Amino acid sequence: MKTFLNLPVKDLDRSVEFFTALGFTFDQNFTDENATCMVISDDAYAMLLVEPFFKSFIAKDVADASKVTEVITALTADSREQVDELVDKARAAGSPRVGEVMEEGPMYSRSFEDPDGHLWEIFHMPLD
């Protein structure tokens, strides 16, 4: 089973530039002026949809993620160093907010906001 997150964005080019700086790639087969498919892994993708296009799929208002939070997208990293590397890239790419280190037992995590205010948490939890 594959996972597709659908996220509204105000400026598609800005979002692509931001996530490209973090090292993500995009599937051009699912990209046009309204949307792009960001590849997270072989089984996980984020569809970044311009707000009017996103709105065409729902009956509710589109939440302003810079003011309210509905979800935190959490991604695993292979190491603590990879957590820091990705979040540091987000900071360098202009993330409006980067969270502090959180350590809960063996879990190590940090978070950042993308240009639209969506929250992303990157964590490492050894399975040993």
List of domains in the chain? 3-124 (3.10.180.10)
Alpha-carbon Rg for the chain, nearest whole angstrom, is 15
Average pLDDT over all residues of the chain? 95
Residue ranges for the chain with pLDDT beneath 70: 128
Per-residue model confidence (pLDDT) at position 83: 97
CA 31 centroid distance within chain = 17
Give this prediction's pTM.
Answer: 0.92
